[in-house]
Structure 1
């Protein structure tokens, strides 16, 4: 999504900007759908309204804050080019955070599986209390 916003920022061709916007919206809607499904799959029915209400409120609050700071004359009142650079940077930072979180999860899962495999091997070599502590 950050790449699409940066393309919209740097391109002078209107059709390239429209194409980039269409890709941006398609990816955005896909990610929102997947994220909503993942959240809903782990919730009980009684908590849907609370979780999605708080989530929507938080997103609206963050978007309002960014708009006031970046666009409004009471804030920075930046030009359109700079606004797109800020929004692209915002999406890039979010993508790096999610990438790092995903890599951390992947490596911690691999490490846990290696430890469990090693413990399983050690416990399977012990027989009838021949091991220490067993």
Structure 2
């Protein structure tokens, strides 16, 4: 952090948290909500596991590769919702679908259950706890 700030000091009230892998992992951690929204079978979303035998509570979804790619290549392609597929799956030579970010926003705003997601993501649970302590 100090390298990024180039000599500036951290301000009081500054809070910095990093999602495990990518933000999409936190979204998909609401397995029930995300699978319903995307119109896929919930068994397609990786199960949460701990990769640290000494700290079994450190669970995250077990993606075989980058969560955003997993979403586009493994989940969106199975969606029965044609509109979501067209907006999330990249066209030729694109890295993301033509409306990838804007398509995720309604899920985040209206459907995502952060409490449910936090049960499946240690990093999200810790971020939520930190924000709650911070805002008191």
TM-score when normalising by structure 2: 0.24
**Higher strand proportion:** 2
More helix by share: 1
State which structure, 1 or 2, has the greater radius of gyration over its C-alpha atoms: 1
